Amino acid sequence: MLKSDPEALRTTDSLEYGASAALLRLAKDIGLDKALYSRPHEPWVRDCLAMIVGRLIYQGSKLALSQCTTYSALWSLCGSEGPIDVNEHCYAPMDRLLERQHAIEKHLTAKHLTNGTLILYDITSSYFEGEYAGSEIVEFGYNRDHKHGHEQIVIGLVTTAEGCPVCVEVFPGNTQDASTVIDKIRELRTRHGVDDFVFVGDRGMITASNEAKLGTLPEGDGIQIISALTHLEIVQMLQRTGHEPELFDQNQIVEITDPDAPARRYCLCRNPHTAGRETTTRRELLERTRLELTRIAATALKSQRTKHPASDELIGARVGKALVKTRMGKYVVDKKGQSL
């Protein structure tokens, strides 16, 4: 049959198929569909699989995903033919997912968390545009994206040592990181049945208050903590142990036992990336301080030529304000050689 023949086969349309089919097959092979619900052939479960695979392939919004039928066979592979409605096929299944959250998390923790395992916990936030007057969780709080003036929610995530997420919780936007830790540790023990584990959190979560609370709780038995020290805590620890920071290098980790708490061990080393970043920041702040002090000196000198020169108190207040702003007072000395 010739190409010019009216009966010849022609390609009139083309849909993405391979990536969607492969990822759907993978999701079923690892049991993701059954983890969502014991009857994986229910329409809402297949819609959830479409959203998961669509997020991996297209990385767009739910609305965009509902309109991908013009170029993808994803929804058809999941059993949804015809027009896709974002409310029916996306948001309604997500409501069902929320109802199943605890059961899904229990399935994941049973599969990935065992006694003695390492558990990572961290907090992030997501800000919103617009107004949410009727929301119980959208609040103003510490914004990690530096989007001041925007309300937000706070999200806590528990993962395995490999970074596989197993639990997630959404908190009001004004929630402090440290306030979520004790309840999360108790939840891992009581709801998910992990008796012994190593809990890893940053210095903003593992506070002295939380450590004290954990020591008085039955849930604290069998739980170990890995965290980091603040700058002040490092200075105090070095003073107690008699070690000098100059002894640390980037190739060998120095282990120190706290004489006041023998069960506590510190692992210390020098991080060249952090040191380089801090050196650059310090130089920038010192230069900013120098320029501001130079400006104040020029202004003071100019005022001396007028009928109403600036007083020493006023000049001192301006200098103090500049040093407080940059926190570089310890690097600036007066004529007597004393730090300001």
Residue 270's pLDDT is: 76
Count the domains in the chain. 4
Q: How many residues does the chain have?
A: 340
Residues 124 and 196 reside in one and the same domain: yes
For residue 248, count CB atoms less than 10 angstroms from its CB and return exposed for 0-12, middle for 13-18, buried for 19 or more. middle
Q: What string of pLDDT tens digits covers the 340 residues of the chain? A: 566 676 766 666 788 999 999 999 999 999 999 999 999 999 999 999 999 999 999 988 999 999 999 999 999 999 988 899 999 999 999 999 999 999 999 999 988 988 888 999 999 999 988 777 778 888 888 888 888 888 899 999 999 999 999 999 999 999 998 889 888 988 888 888 888 888 898 888 887 777 777 766 555 577 888 888 877 888 888 787 777 766 667 777 778 887 777 778 888 877 777 778 888 988 999 999 999 988 988 888 888 888 778 888 888 888 888 888 888 888 777 666 666 5
Residue 321 lies inside a defined structural domain of this protein: yes
Provide CB contacts within 8 A for 300, sequence distance 6+: 309, 310, 315
Please give the residue range of the domain that contains residue 300.
Answer: 272-331
- Per 3-state DSSP, the chain is made up of helix, strand and coil in percentages (nearest 5) of 45, 15, 35
Residue 332's pLDDT is: 78
The structure tokens listed for 146 are 């530096």
Of 67, 99, 131, which marks where a domain is finished?
Answer: 99
Residue 339's pLDDT is: 60
Residues 301 and 245 reside in one and the same domain: no
Residue 337 lies inside a defined structural domain of this protein: no
Q: Which amino acid is at 211?
A: E
Residue 261 lies inside a defined structural domain of this protein: yes
Per the listing, tokens 């989007």 go with 147
- How many Å apart are CA 116 and CA 11, to the nearest integer? 58
Of 200, 228, 256, which marks where a domain is finished?
Answer: 228
The answer to whether residues 100 and 179 touch, using CB atoms and an 8 Å cutoff, is no
Q: How far is CA 334 from CA 73, 81, 259, 284, 339, in A?
A: 73, 78, 39, 21, 7
Per the listing, tokens 């709780």 go with 217
What's the farthest any 2 CA atoms get from each other in the chain? 104
Residue 9 lies inside a defined structural domain of this protein: no
Q: What is the DSSP string of 210-249?
A: HHHHHHHSGGGTTEEEE----HHHHHHHHHHHT--GGG--
List residues bridging with 152 in a β-sheet: 127, 139
Residue 10 lies inside a defined structural domain of this protein: no
Of 76, 99, 122, which marks where a domain is finished?
Answer: 99
The answer to whether residues 253 and 238 touch, using CB atoms and an 8 Å cutoff, is no
The structure tokens listed for 131 are 């107004």
The structure tokens listed for 67 are 């309109």
Residue 130 lies inside a defined structural domain of this protein: yes
- How many Å apart are CA 90 and CA 67, to the nearest integer? 12
Residues 68 and 126 reside in one and the same domain: no
Residue 1 lies inside a defined structural domain of this protein: no
Triad 82, 86, 91: Cα angle to 5°: 130
